[in-house]
Each structure stands twice: as C-alpha cells, then as structure tokens.
Structure 1
Amino acid sequence: MDAVVAGLPGQQARRRIRPPEPLVMAASPSTPAAFRCPISLEVMRSPVSLPTGATYDRTSIQRWLDSGHRTCPATRLPLLSTDLVPNLLLRRLIHLHAATLPPSPSPEEVLSQLAASHGEPAAAEKAVRSLAAKIAPEKGKQASVASAVAADLESTVPALLSFAKGGAGADARVDAVKILATVAPEIATYITGDGTEIKRGKVKMAVEALAAVLCAGGVSEEAKKALISALVAADLGRVVTTLLAAGPTGVVVLEAILTSPVPDADAKTAIADRPELFPDLVRILREAASPAAIKCMAAAVQVRGRPARASMVRAGAVPALALAVSAAPTAAAESALVLLVEAARCSDGKAAIAGDAAGMAAAVMGRMIRVGPVGREAAVEVLWLSCCAGGGERRMREALAAAPEAVGKLLVVMQGDCSPATSRMAGELLRAVRMEQERKGMAAAYDSRTIHVMPY
C-alpha cells in the first residue's frame, strides 16, 4: 500500500507502509500480569473494563459491585457508572497466549494432583481451581469432570469439602462447591441407598456435601432442582429419617426440599406428616440452637397448616422457641417469633405459652426492640394473641404487666414504622397492661422511664 507523505514545499515523497506484523505470542512458563484479574489474581475468562479504564474478570467485578461497592478496586476512584464493557482485544490476547501453553491436564490427572497435595494447601487450591475451570459452560467438559469425580467419591468429596467449608480462599470455596454440584445426584445415593453406605460411615460426608450445594449461591438452580428431584424420587421416609439423624446439617437439606418448587404437594405433605419430624426438630433446636431447625418447622407449618401447628406444640416447640428468641442471633430470633405466632393461633399453643407466662413475656419483651420490623410485629402479635384474642390468658396479662419497660417498648413500636394492624394490637395490649397494673396497684409503673414517649 502506498501513501503520500508531505515533505518540503513543492515536493512530494512516496513511501510504502508496511503491513502490521502478525500477532504471535511466544510460549512462556509465566502468565503476563495484565492477563490476571486484579481481584482474584487468576487469568481472566471474560475481561471487562470499568469507566476508570481498569479491567477485571466479569465474575470478580460483578461480585464486588453486587456487594454494594461503588468504587474501582484498583484505582479507588468513585464510579459514575457501573456499566461493564467487554475488553475484546485483551480476551483475544489471553486466548492466543493459552494456545501457546501445553495442553491442560485431564480431570483424572488433576484429581491425582489433588490427592497428592496433602499438607500443601497452595497445591491443593491450584488443583481445585484447575478442575473448576474445566466445568465452565464454554468448555463443555462438565460430564467428564463429573465422571472423574464420581469414580472415586470417597476420596475426592472429603477433599473438596475441606475447601467448601472454609479451608481456602473465597474463590476456591465457590469452585469446590461447583465441582460437588456436578456429582450431587451420585452423592445423594449415600442417603437414598439400601443402608450399606450408612455402615460405611459416609452419610455425614454426603449430607455436608449436599447442604453445601443447596446453600451455595454459585450453583445453578437447575443443578439444585436435579439434586432435590433425586432425593424426592427415593424412599421419602428413609430420606427424612436419615437427614434428621444427621443433625443441623441434615435439617438444612430437609428445609431446602420443603421450600423447593420441585416436590409436589403430596410429597411435601408426606414429609410434614412424619411423626418424628417435629420432635427431632425440637431436639436439634434445643441441642444446637439451629436456625435451620426453626426454618424447617416454619416450612412444615406452611405446607400442612393447622395439623402441623398442633404437632409442633405437642412436640414441645414453644419453650424451645422462647429460648431461641432470647439467645439466638437476630435473624433466627425473628424466625422464632414468627413461628410463635403460628403456635399462638391454636388453643394448645396459647396454653403452652401461658404455661411459662413470666418466661415468655420476658423473652418476647426483652427482644422486641432488638429485632427488625418483621420481628417487632411478630412480637406484638404473639403477645396480643396470648393476652387479648378470645379473652386471652390472665397469666400472660399479669406477666406482661410485670415485665420491665413493657409499656415503653409497646409505645416505641406504635410510634415506629409498623402496620396499622400492629399499631392496633399494641394499643389493645397497652390498655390490657394498664388495667392489670391498676388492678394490682401498679399504675405508677406506667409512667416510669417512659415519660418522654407520647402514647397518642
């Protein structure tokens, strides 16, 4: 190709423009730093650029943005836009570089490296990341990875679980769970089998692996549904018994089954009607203060309704839930309060609540202000159902009137951002408390430490 180049006045010179040299990247044992994501430090699979000009792997930067950050991780500059622009040139360079590297090891070879890396966390993590890279959608090798892992579940699953349960960095944990998801139906056979696996002591391993898969955010919904379908298609009675015997981790799997759209109503009802369900859930809640046990009870009540409420109360759930309200973390305490509302809707539940009126009033009032809006409204409702609805229970009214700062806390709820129904129930509770205090000569308590709060 020729081009005219301006020279001295009145003169013109012609020179030939050489075509660009073909892009050839020599093989190198090390990967250029520009090919690595600044966040994960791994070779980028889908490089994208922020408006600041910095480039990251799409998965890593999306996780950064989804967590609420609005700055560029590398430059710390504020982001005026969170649009991600694919860096096609860099992606092409990474692919050219990959073509110069030796062939990647097979899944079987990577698993051998993982088995041989005992006591070397860095080598083991590298093997896990390498194996996870092979199940990326564009690789099309998920079946070969699953086949390699399934060929020796008893050695590979414990190794992967050590990562999934926190034995490595965040990215390695995600990758380990993704690998476990590829063989989740095979792992489920330890639970759905004929019992020989139980003798071999592998049920605990299987339950932990299934719970990790069902709780992970990086696992596709299709994989989770396939796993739950495999569990539901087996003997449900054996599955439920085995999961309950596995303790809090097994309850996580059971709760996922009850809340999943995969099982039909008949299968969920069969689970909720199991006679051992609520007694075992109450036992697990008492022994381990398991939030999953509370969620599982709530799911069963949602499925079965009134019969499940009665079964839950007969199993002794009310005192266990009261203990969770007092001592559990905020999210679990809120769930326990919501479940106590369900218990208070039946006569047996209301009687069980009044059976330890002082302890229940202290637990609910003590936590009422230290939970979120859902928990506050549930706390008011369970007290209203116990003290006012259908005439209420006198023991609960007396206990509420004697609870420290009961009036002040109810006024705080009324003046907060609560629903009209909650405000009405809180008002009725205030009147019931004041009448009880006046009956017992405790009216002065109405004004103690609450003079700054206006009731209306």
Structure 2
Amino acid sequence: MGRVELCITVPSLFHCPISLDVMNSPVSLCTGVTYDRSSIQHWLDSGHDTCPATMQVLSSKDFVPNLTLRRLINLWASTTSSPSPADLEEKVVVWMEEISNAKFERCLDSIVEFVSCGEVNRSFLASFDGFLETIVGVLSVNGMQIRVLESVIRILSLIVLENGVSEKLQKLIFKSYPNSNCLASFISILRNGSLESKMACFTVLESVTTDNESKRFIAGVENNLLPVIIHLIKIDNDDQELYEVVLSFLIAVSVTRSIKSQLVQLGIVEVLSDMMSSQNAAISVVEKSLKMLSIVCTCADGRSALSSDQKCAGAIVKRLMKVSKKATEDAVLVLWSMCCLFSDEKVVEKVASSNGVTKVLLVMQSEVREGNVRRMCGDLIKVLRLGCKNGGGFSGVVSYETITTHIMPC
C-alpha cells in the first residue's frame, strides 16, 4: 500500500464545536460551552449573538479561558504521536488475526474507534487487502454474541460509503449464500440490538441492495427479514428517526409484485395508516409513508388493504397541502388509483366524506398545476362530485373513462 497520512484518535472533548479541530486556546461562553478562541471570536465578530452549539441568545459575549481543558489538551499532545503507515498496517494485520481467532474483546472496539476518527482512516481500512472479507466473516458465524455483531455492523456502516465497499459487501453477503447466511446476523441485531446498531443495519442493507437481484434476495420469504422489519416499526413506532430509515429501505427494495404483496400481508398498510393519522408523526415520515402507499397501491393486495382500512383514505386527504410537492403527488396518485382507475366505492365514499373535493381543488390551484397530477385531480373531482350527489355514498359505480394512463398496476 502507498504511504498515506493517518489520523489518530482525538478525544471528542478536545474538538472545537465550530472548526472541529483540536483547540489551541479553549475559552468558555456564558452558556458553559467551550470553543477555540479564534473560532468563537470570528463567530461573534460576524454579528452573531447566540451560542453556536445551543443557539441560546447570549446574555454576555464575554468568554473566559478554560485552563483545565487547555492543560489536558497539552498533556495529551505531549504524550501522543501519529503512527506511521507501516505501524498502522502492522496493527490492522494484528486486528485481522485476532478476528480470525475469535479474539474480539478489545480488537473490535479499537477498530470502531479508529474508523470513527476520520475519513482518511476509513479509506485506509476499507482498502486494506482482506480486511472486509475478515470482518464480514464474523456475520456468518452462527450464535455470535450480539455485542460482537453490533460492533461489526457499526464498522461496516462507517466504511460502506468508501469507494468500492458497497459492491464488495454485496458480493460477500449475497453471493456466498447459502454457505454463509449473513442476513441472520442482521436479523439478530434488529431483534435484540440497540437503536444505534439497528440504524447502522439499515445503512448497510440499503447500501448493498443496489440491483433487482439483491433486492429480491433480501426480501425473500426464506430470509425472514421483512417480517422482522415490519414487526420492528410496529413496536418502535414512536422513534421517528428509525421509522424513517426503515421506510427508506422498504421503498428501495419494493420492486416486484411479490415483495409488495408480502409487505401488504405483513400489515404495512395498517402501519402506514396509523402513522399518517398520528399528530406526532414527523413530516418526513408522513412523506415517506405516502411514497410507500403509492408503491403498494400498484398491486391487487395493496388496493384491497387500502379499501379495507377504515382511516387510510381519510388520513391521506388530511395530509394534502401539508406536505411537499412530491409527497402531494404521491397522495394524489393513491387517491386517483383507488377512486378513478379501480372505482373503489369504499374509498370514494371515504374521500368524499373527508372534504376531498375541496382538498383536491386546492391542490389543483397550487403549484401542482401541470401534467398527469393535474389531470388526475380533474378525474378525482368528477368522481367525488358524483359521490357527493349521491349523498356521500357511491352505490352503483360506473366505469370511468380517463386519458390518464401513466400508472401500470401489477
């Protein structure tokens, strides 16, 4: 390997929150947050009157030297030297030997600390011959301790975006099946791991499912991954960050009719309906929920679930004009598919009784004025007005002709 400049681990307390560099002259504001003098002085001289880390308005712009922290930084600097590339190569070889011999105790913690230090370290380790194969090999061991698996996933999530890593991981995880079933380790973490490790799992999984073959594999019934994921968001639906990551992954893998049907059978529509009906749902989560609904409504099972759900259509109507333009388009697509393309009486009645005509008219008058979305809104207005004329019901649905044919249902 060529010679590269490598980083050493720096205690997070020594970093300036503004420059992210080790502080030369640490000073503390009245909020108690410490910065490097030059960085905070530049911030204040630029006209700011807030603490950059907390955004609290400063009662005083004076700052005092943090002499204790300065002494700690000087002591650390005097006892720490940057290792040479040769030293690091030797260290990585030792790590790999310890992993191969199942001596995980301090080895994995050291690797996590190393790759957390900076991009240079991550690139060095990701390109080190044989390291990726060695670390992924841990995921193939049956009955591995959850703490070990969490450390491995954490390492992989930190290096997966490095050049060529996702492609190598894809081969290691999928091509070796069934001789080494790495997905079992992912499932173990999703069931028993910490929130941080679950998030790391989805970072890795989404990065390696980049083609239809890998998506079909990862969603295969025999892998039991999708049931675990749906169960996860059913029991942890208060964690919006996790929910959003899960939805991003499901949107990425939902490429075939069988995958969509499997998700519907596992209760995805009910989960999405509950989330959109929640007043505490983050807008980003609602928008991904609408995207997921626009995907599942293209299969017969999805449409059946949407029709049977008592609150989904009403929740979609309530979210119109309260989300982004793209999410509004997804919402219109779902309503149009159910009401116009497939003439579902239950959904038409629910949308009409939820003030759907007014909401759809507002969408037409907003920035969503062109192309298929506008035509779908026009179709919806006609069908919903017919429902309103029938007293809110929609008995005797007639075949509805429309020129909007861009959606191809499964």
TM-score, normalised by the number of residues in structure 1: 0.58
Distance in structure 2 (CA, Å) of the matches to 1:232 and 1:209: 19
Instruction: Pick the aligned partner of 1:377 from 324, 329, 332.
Output: 329
After superposition, the Cα gap between the structure-2 partners of 1:179 and 1:74, relative to the gap in structure 1 and judged at 3 Å, is farther
- 1:429 maps to a residue whose letter is L
Please show how residues 197-236 of structure 1 align to structure 2 within 5 Å: 198-199=144-145, 201-214=147-160, 219-235=161-177
Instruction: Write out per-residue CA displacement over residues 255-298 of structure 1, whole angstroms, 9 at most, x where no aligned residue.
Output: 22212x6xxx5444332323423322211221234323222222
Distance in structure 1 (CA, Å) of the matches to 2:218 and 2:254: 11
Instruction: Pick the aligned partner of 1:243 from 186, 208, 213.
Output: 186
After superposition, the Cα gap between the structure-2 partners of 1:159 and 1:143, relative to the gap in structure 1 and judged at 3 Å, is closer
Distance in structure 2 (CA, Å) of the matches to 1:145 and 1:268: 36
- 1:383 maps to a residue whose letter is L
Distance in structure 2 (CA, Å) of the matches to 1:267 and 1:163: 30
Give the drift of 1:310. 1.6
Instruction: Write out per-residue CA displacement over residues 300-352 of structure 1, whole angstroms, 9 at most, x where no aligned residue.
Output: 222xx222222221222111122333454333332221221121112221110
After superposition, the Cα gap between the structure-2 partners of 1:331 and 1:151, relative to the gap in structure 1 and judged at 3 Å, is farther
Give the drift of 1:205. 2.2
Structure 1: give runs of 5+ residues left out of the alignment.
1-35, 44-71, 78-119, 166-171, 443-456
Say if 1:380 and 1:426, in contact at 8 Å, map to a contact too: yes
Please show how residues 46-61 of structure 1 align to structure 2 within 5 Å: none
Say which SS state the counterpart of residue 154 (structure 1) adopts.
Answer: coil
Instruction: Pick the aligned partner of 2:292 from 327, 336, 339.
Output: 339
Say if 2:167 and 2:208, in contact at 8 Å, map to a contact too: no
Q: Percent identity, aligned pairs only?
A: 19
- Cross-structure match for 1:280: 228
- Cross-structure match for 1:190: 138
TM-score, normalised by the number of residues in structure 2: 0.63
Give the drift of 1:42. 5.1
Say if 1:309 and 1:343, in contact at 8 Å, map to a contact too: yes
- Cross-structure match for 1:21: none
Distance in structure 2 (CA, Å) of the matches to 1:122 and 1:440: 79
- 2:340 maps to a residue whose letter is C
- Cross-structure match for 2:216: 269
- Cross-structure match for 2:349: 398
After superposition, the Cα gap between the structure-2 partners of 1:150 and 1:435, relative to the gap in structure 1 and judged at 3 Å, is same
Which stretch shows the higher mean deviation, 424-433 or 272-281?
A: 272-281
Distance in structure 2 (CA, Å) of the matches to 1:125 and 1:361: 62
Say if 1:410 and 1:426, in contact at 8 Å, map to a contact too: yes
Say which SS state the counterpart of residue 221 (structure 2) adopts.
Answer: coil
Computing the radius of gyration over CA atoms, which structure comes out larger, 1 or 2?
A: 1
Aligned-residue Cα RMSD (Å) equals 4.0
Say if 1:384 and 1:426, in contact at 8 Å, map to a contact too: yes
Say if 1:243 and 1:253, in contact at 8 Å, map to a contact too: no
- Cross-structure match for 2:400: none
After superposition, the Cα gap between the structure-2 partners of 1:273 and 1:121, relative to the gap in structure 1 and judged at 3 Å, is farther
Instruction: Write out per-residue CA displacement over residues 382-410 of structure 1, whole angstroms, 9 at most, x where no aligned residue.
Output: 1111122132x11111111122x433332
Say if 1:295 and 1:335, in contact at 8 Å, map to a contact too: yes
Higher relative contact order (CA 8 A, sep 6+): 2
Please show how residues 310-349 of structure 1 align to structure 2 within 5 Å: 310-327=261-278, 328-349=281-302
Give the drift of 1:202. 1.4
Give the drift of 1:189. 1.8
Distance in structure 2 (CA, Å) of the matches to 1:333 and 1:122: 49
Aligned residues between the structures: 312
Structure 2: give runs of 5+ residues left out of the alignment.
1-15, 24-41, 48-71, 99-103, 191-197, 238-242, 394-410
Say if 2:352 and 2:392, in contact at 8 Å, map to a contact too: no
- Cross-structure match for 1:361: 313
